[in-house]
Amino acid sequence: MAALSGFVEFFQKGKLNSKQTFRPRKKLPPGTLKYSLHKQAQASLNSGINLRKVVKLPPNEDLNDWIAVHVVDFFNRVNLIYGTICDYCTPTSCPTMSGGPKFEYLWVDGKSYKKPTALPAPQYISLLMDWVEAQINDEKVFPVTVDVPFPKSFMSLCKKILSRLFRVFVHVYIHHFDRVVAIGAEAHVNTCYKHFYYFISEFQLVPPKELEPLSDMTARVCHESEPDFE
C-alpha cells in the first residue's frame, strides 16, 4: 500500500505541475501545536502503518486539535485530486454537481445562494473550496495557538466541511476516474480516499446517507485487510 506521502511526491516529480493545483495549499504555522500534530500524523503515514490506526486520536491529545489538523490536510489532498481533472470538468461535460444519476448536490451558503441551487460541477466545487478555505483561514474558527479556544460550533462546522469534501470524491470517482487512471494516479487517490474514509468513520463525522454514492467502491477499497506494522 502506498503511503499518502507518495501522493504528494507523485505531483512533485513532474507528473503534474503546480498550475494543476486547484487552490493554494493551506500551511500550518511551524512551532504551533497543530503543526506538531500534523508532522506526527505525517510521520505515521510515511511509516506505512495501518491506516485504521493512523486516524486514532493519540494519547493525551485534544480531539478538536486532531480534527482541525486533518480537516486542513484533507482540504489540501482533495484540492490536489481535483486539480488532476479540473481541466476535464467543465459546464459542458458536467452541467450538474452529481454523483451518478441518483445523486445531485445543490449549493447553498446563506449569502449569495440562500436557497439550494443547481450549479455546474466546476462552479459548485469552486464555491465549495472557496468556502472551506475561508473557514480554515479564520483563526477564530480554526485557532492556530492554544490560547485561542475553539468555538462551540467547531465540531458541527467540521462535519459540514468533511461532508462537502466527500462530494468532491464522489464526483471525481464517478465522473472522472478514467482521467485519474490515465495519469497513473489511481493507487494514490484510493489511498487518500481510504485515509479520509477511516478518519470520518472513526469519529462519525459524515452521516451514513452522505456516503451512499460510493458505498460499493468503499466496500471494495476500504474493507480489505490492512497491513499491521508496528
pLDDT at residue 101, as a whole number: 87
Q: Which residue has the cell 508496528?
A: 230
- The pLDDT mean for the chain works out to 81
Inside any domain, residue 104: yes
Query: 0.85 cut: is pTM over it?
Result: no
Please give the tally of structural domains in the chain.
1
Residue 171 annotated as lining a ligand binding site: yes
Inside any domain, residue 230: no
Element (H, E) at 164: helix 154-175
pLDDT at 9 over 60: no
Q: Which residues contact 174 (CB under 8 A, 6 or more apart)?
A: 98, 99, 100, 213, 214
Question: Which among 165, 198, 161 is positioned nearest to 81, based on CA atoms?
Answer: 165
Q: Which residues contact 128 (CB under 8 A, 6 or more apart)?
A: 107, 164, 165, 167, 168
Inside any domain, residue 228: no
pLDDT at residue 174, as a whole number: 94
* Torsion over CA: 7, 69, 18, 100 (sign): positive
Least confident of 7-16, 82-91, 160-169, 195-204: 7-16
Q: Measuring CA to CA, how many Å separate 39 from each of 22, 27, 91, 111, 213?
A: 23, 12, 38, 36, 32
Inside any domain, residue 171: yes
pLDDT at 12 over 60: no
pLDDT at 37 over 70: no
Give the separation between CA 170 and CA 175, rounded to whole angstroms. Answer: 8
Helix 154-175 vs helix 121-137: crossing angle, to nearest 10: 150
Range of the domain at 86: 4-222
pLDDT at 204 over 50: yes
Residue 70 annotated as lining a ligand binding site: no
Structure confidence at residue 229 as a pLDDT band (50, 70, 90): very low
Under a CB-based contact definition with an 8 Å cutoff, are residues 113 and 107 in contact?
yes
In this prediction, residues 160-175 reach a mean pLDDT of 96
Residue 86 annotated as lining a ligand binding site: no
In this prediction, residues 83-102 reach a mean pLDDT of 93
Give the separation between CA 109 and CA 102, rounded to whole angstroms. Answer: 23
Under a CB-based contact definition with an 8 Å cutoff, are residues 5 and 46 in contact?
yes
Inside any domain, residue 191: yes
Grouping H, G, I as helix, E, B as strand and the rest as coil, residue 138 is: coil
Inside any domain, residue 203: yes
- CATH, residue 167: 1.20.140.30
Residue 89 annotated as lining a ligand binding site: yes
pLDDT at residue 221, as a whole number: 86
Give the separation between CA 183 and CA 100, rounded to whole angstroms. Answer: 23
